[in-house]
Structure 1
Amino acid sequence: MSESSYSLLGLWPIINRWKKLVGVALLLALVGSVLVALLLPNVYKSTAVFFPTNPQTTDPDRIATEGSKLELGGRTEDLDRVITIGESQPVAELVIKRFNLHQHYQTGAAGDDAADDAALREFSSNLSIVHNERDAIELTFLDKDKNLAAQIANALVQVIDSVNQQLTLENRRNVLGLYSQRFQFLNKEFETSRQKLIQARRRYGIYGLEQQSRYLAREIIEVESKLRQAEGEGNSNEAAGLRRALRGLTKAEGGNVINLEDYTQGVDSLNLFTARMTDLQERLVKARGEYETADVALKGKLSSLYVVQKAYPATKKSKPIRWLIVVGSVFLTLAFSVVVITLLELWRRTAGRPGYSPAQ
């Protein structure tokens, strides 16, 4: 005798023979799932959407020297860095402590290893940070309290921003220190050059180049002209005095405060010091501006995130979907019951009792 084949249509007689037990199982599943669905608390979802900015555009050295603008960072490394920060344990522990989530999750007192681990796992299960198709980051947090969910989501964005800034903060401070050192060095060099210029003016007696050069040239020409005239007239005494006067105007050892030799050396020195001071002055002004710009950029704490949408309290629950729980429980119970009774029927027939009926 050939064995009977089974099909989906062939299950109905089996279900019909076990309909009482199947009905009881479905009724229990319906009642139980309804009770469970009603007892489950409402969970609300709050989502914040933001773009990470390129951290190089917020560095004071680039702002000062290149005038960089704040740029949205759709780069993979920027997105990965922000997501990694948001999912890190230090950030989670900071938020858990700030909002006293140990008490909220009823995991026990903070400081206990088991309580800390339970609170951390609960927090992580409620947090979701994903990179969407528009290269933005969506940070979602779930909680029974819709206001708390929104507050935690916004706090997480702030903490991520703060930590992201800290990654380059030390480098920014070093850059600011370099600007300060350069400004102080140039300021010192400028003051030193200014003092040397004053000393050179005193040493060579030069205070007005144009006026003194005209005076010196006029005097030398007049004395030399008179000397030639005295020599031509044979007046030796007058010629000797004019020679001494001419030597005093042209030689440093002549004793004149203003003389051609010192004047020439002084002009060269003054031109050198003046060029040095002009260069230092330009560099000093530029260094001062760069330092002030970098200082303002550092103290301003430019945000490393561009928030498109803050998290707001949800207007409706996210879960549980109660009707789905009830329908799913009943369907799974039916499917499980069909499998069980089918296996029982198969076992009964294989054991040689095909006439067995559960109703008997």
Structure 2
Amino acid sequence: MSESSYSLLGLWPVINRWKKLVLAAVVAAAVLSVVVALLLPNIYRSTAVFFPTNPESTDPDRLVDGGKLELGGRSEDLDRIITIGQSQPVAEQLIREFGLYKHYKAGEPGTDAVENAVLYEFSSNLSIVHNERDAIELTFEDKDKELAARLANRLVQVIDSINQQLTLENRRSVLGLYKLRFEFLQSEFEQSRQQLVQARRRYGIYGLEQQGRYMAREIITLESKLRQAEGSGNANQAAGARRALQGLTGAGGTNTINLERYVQGTDSMGLFVARLTDLQGRLVKARGDYETADLTLRAKISSLYIVQKAYPATRKSKPVRWLIVVGSVVVTLAISIVLITLLELYKRSRRGSRRRFGQATGAGS
């Protein structure tokens, strides 16, 4: 006779024969899982949601000129923020700041084992993901819901600070160039001003246009007086007018304002005045640029647009205790059924082997 095949329909008789053992295993698993689930601490989750802003739009120089903040949904901006948040220096800073060596009960810092254990625990509790709305969700889990919220918010601040630092050094270099240009123009302006003062004293020119009109009027007046004195035969008056005219127009004239020196200094004074005017305009602009750059460098403009700060959770995120108990019971029941099924198959195969062996022995005798 051929041996009947073993099918799923025969599971219930098998389970019924082993029901006490299966029931004992399920009850033991339920009790053990309840104890374990009750011993597990509550884990709370706090989440902060933010957008990275476009780095170009957060440049204070552009804001001073009327630019506006723009949200940056570019993949490189998102990747940069996530990379900063998951970097080891950021993790080490927060671990020291919040005393997580003691909180995680890892031991005293200083050994590789302790450092690796704390970093692993920190990284396991941290999640930074890019969601479908192009925002970044930063989540931190911990047994202390207040600590989880404070650490998540602090991590957002650290990411913001480091993200700003990426362009801060370049902006400081630009500020140095502004300062160098301002100091150079200030030095050149002072030197040109001194040269202009010396030229005024040398040539006796303090106002080109005004002095030109004054000398022209005085020369015409003196020449008229000289001609009148000569015409009237007044020698003394003519001599006085001639000396006054000579002092005003002659090369060796002793007048402070002299036509000869005025003509000689006109070109030089024009050059000095033009140079000084040009330097003055450039100096004023350079000073304004430097002050604006210095002011904007001191300003702290956030590179993140925070949609939601992390708040202490009002309910735990895990463990789901009923799921642990139910899962343990189901897994235990499934394993028990598999084991007793394999045992029944083994016993059946042994009985079949003995039967065939007995039949073969009887036929041989």
TM-superposition CA deviations, 1:290-346 (whole Å, max 9, x none):
222222222222222222211111100010011111111111112222222222233
Q: Which moved more, 1:241-250 or 1:134-143?
A: 241-250
Report the Cα offset of residue 70 of structure 1: 3.1
Report the Cα offset of residue 161 of structure 1: 1.7
TM-superposition CA deviations, 1:205-239 (whole Å, max 9, x none):
11233332122222444556678889999999999
2:38 equivalent to 1:38: yes
Match of 2:22 in 1: 22
Aligned partner of residue 351 in structure 1, secondary structure: helix
Distance between the aligned counterparts of 2:124 and 2:19, measured in 1? 41
Distance between the aligned counterparts of 2:253 and 2:280, measured in 1? 37
Aligned partner of residue 141 in structure 2, secondary structure: strand
Match of 1:89 in 2: 88
Q: Which amino acid aligns with 1:159?
A: V
Distance between the aligned counterparts of 1:50 and 1:3, measured in 2? 69
Match of 1:329 in 2: 328
CA-based RMSD of the aligned residues comes to 3.1
Report the Cα offset of residue 145 of structure 1: 0.7
Distance between the aligned counterparts of 1:274 and 1:71, measured in 2? 46
Distance between the aligned counterparts of 1:3 and 1:180, measured in 2? 99
Provide closer, same or farther for how the CA distance between residues 215 and 150 of structure 1 changes in structure 2, counting only shifts above 3 A.
Answer: same
Match of 1:101 in 2: 100
Q: Which amino acid aligns with 1:209?
A: L
Distance between the aligned counterparts of 1:148 and 1:121, measured in 2? 18
Match of 1:53 in 2: 53
Provide closer, same or farther for how the CA distance between residues 306 and 265 of structure 1 changes in structure 2, counting only shifts above 3 A.
Answer: farther
Distance between the aligned counterparts of 1:317 and 1:292, measured in 2? 52
Q: Which moved more, 1:341-350 or 1:124-133?
A: 341-350
Report the Cα offset of residue 69 of structure 1: 3.3
Provide closer, same or farther for how the CA distance between residues 174 and 61 of structure 1 changes in structure 2, counting only shifts above 3 A.
Answer: farther
Report the Cα offset of residue 268 of structure 1: 2.9
Match of 2:72 in 1: 73
2:262 equivalent to 1:263: yes
Distance between the aligned counterparts of 1:140 and 1:254, measured in 2? 91
Distance between the aligned counterparts of 1:73 and 1:254, measured in 2? 76
- Whether the aligned pair in 2 keeps the contact of 1:60 and 1:172 (CA below 8 Å) is no
Distance between the aligned counterparts of 1:288 and 1:2, measured in 2? 106
- What are the residue-to-residue correspondences of 1:127-166 with 2, within 5 Å? 127-166=126-165
Aligned partner of residue 310 in structure 2, secondary structure: coil
Match of 1:351 in 2: 350
- Whether the aligned pair in 2 keeps the contact of 1:60 and 1:176 (CA below 8 Å) is no
TM-superposition CA deviations, 1:39-64 (whole Å, max 9, x none):
11100001111222233334455556
Aligned partner of residue 56 in structure 1, secondary structure: coil
Unaligned segments of structure 2, at least 5 residues: 355-365
Provide closer, same or farther for how the CA distance between residues 296 and 148 of structure 1 changes in structure 2, counting only shifts above 3 A.
Answer: same
TM-superposition CA deviations, 1:145-170 (whole Å, max 9, x none):
11111111111112212222222222
TM-superposition CA deviations, 1:57-98 (whole Å, max 9, x none):
34455556x554333222211211111111111111111111
Distance between the aligned counterparts of 1:233 and 1:283, measured in 2? 59
Q: Which amino acid aligns with 2:319?
A: P
Unaligned segments of structure 1, at least 5 residues: 356-360
- Whether the aligned pair in 1 keeps the contact of 2:204 and 2:258 (CA below 8 Å) is no
Distance between the aligned counterparts of 1:263 and 1:70, measured in 2? 59
2:170 equivalent to 1:168: no
- Whether the aligned pair in 2 keeps the contact of 1:96 and 1:102 (CA below 8 Å) is yes
Aligned partner of residue 55 in structure 1, secondary structure: coil
Provide closer, same or farther for how the CA distance between residues 3 and 182 of structure 1 changes in structure 2, counting only shifts above 3 A.
Answer: farther
Provide closer, same or farther for how the CA distance between residues 197 and 4 of structure 1 changes in structure 2, counting only shifts above 3 A.
Answer: farther
Match of 1:341 in 2: 340
